[in-house]
A = this chain, B = another copy of it.
Amino acid sequence: MRVNQQKIANALEISRTTVSRCFTNHPGINPDTRAAVFAMATKLGYTYLEPRGTNKSKSSSFRTMAVLICSDLDQDITKDNQSPGMQLLPGISEYALLNHIKLDIKIVNPRETNFKASHYEQLLKERKTQWDGVLLIYPFPSTIIGGLMRKFPCVSLVEQYGASDLDCIDVDHHRGVSHLMQKLIDQGHRRIGFFSWRYSVEALWVYRRYSAYIEKLARADLPYRQEDILNVYATDTYGLEEGYQKALQQTRDGVTAWICPADHIAYDFIEVFQKHGLESGKDYAITGFDGIPQMGTSQKLTTVQIPYRQIGYQAARRLDDLLSNRYSTTQHVYLNGTVIAGETDTKL
């Protein structure tokens, strides 16, 4: 017999009305109840089909999306428009404009980890227009994410959040790293190392780009060498100076190219190595990731340009989807970055 809402209601011993409201995104449903219903629906294999006739009239009402940027005010935003946070906005507002969505952009304090604190209380009460959903820019404390997700549909941009069921739009780490490495391999590099930093907060993109690096090694049939991978494993990390010493040592030992999971790591690397008389693009190859132009560098770094505008657009769009259909499988969208051919990937 087919699964219907009644089955779910029976299983949870609640009324079918409540089940229906969960799927129709009705206000006034306890988030916990909704979660329980969705979990049971998945378990029983229920498929909710949006009603087809009615969904046109509904979209006429104005929605409001919050854009929360988790960053110190002076650090990121005020600095310049080059910061990722600012670069994402055009895409977001483009989508919002096209679809008559209001935006409410707020900067929140990264050090506030208590969702019940006045900082967030205020944020939520201040507005007359209720938020319908939230876009998250930069990493948030997980407690905050939990609190926000209970109240609103959320979509995260660029940064990802481990195992929690948060939708996320990001650059395609795998393709990016794969392209960079292919470029190196094409130039004759056979021993390619991975150089990162340890971050105080767990940086998921480091792991993701590292895993892309490993995957490419395997597919290109290049051997895995533990000693050419620096600062990925927690138990096997180096201090800043120590790390560079090790990198120097490995370079002398035969590593001809280094993959760095971020541009700023690569720029610093280049600077340090220069002090030791090693020139990037000549004595060794190096690539970054992010496509942030650096001032005061003579060389153009080979890197992957992150498609910020597209990410912003897709994120807003995904959130819009979630507003009308909250019972939807969590998804990650990875957009192709553009490889920027710099001068640092040259053959020896």
Q: Give the B-binding residues of A (Cβ under 8 A).
A: 27, 30-32, 42, 47, 49-50, 52, 90, 94, 97-98, 162-163, 165, 172, 174-175, 178-179, 182, 202, 207-208, 210-212, 214-215, 218-219, 221, 223-224, 226, 232-235, 307, 309-310, 313-314, 327-336, 338
Contacts and interface: CB of A to CB of B under 8 A. Distances in A.
B335 A329 contact: yes
Contacts of A232: 218
Contacts of A47: 32, 90, 309
Contacts of A32: 47
A250 to B, nearest CB: 17
A219 B90 CA distance: 34
Given A211-B218, A330-B336, 16 more contacts: A27-B52, A47-B90, A52-B97, A162-B178, A163-B175, A163-B182, A172-B332, A207-B218, A207-B219, A210-B214, A211-B211, A211-B212, A223-B235, A329-B336, A330-B335, A334-B334
Given A31-B49, A52-B98, A218-B207, A332 B330 contact: no
A96 to B, nearest CB: 12
B332 A310 contact: no
A308 B175 CA distance: 24
A313 B321 CA distance: 13
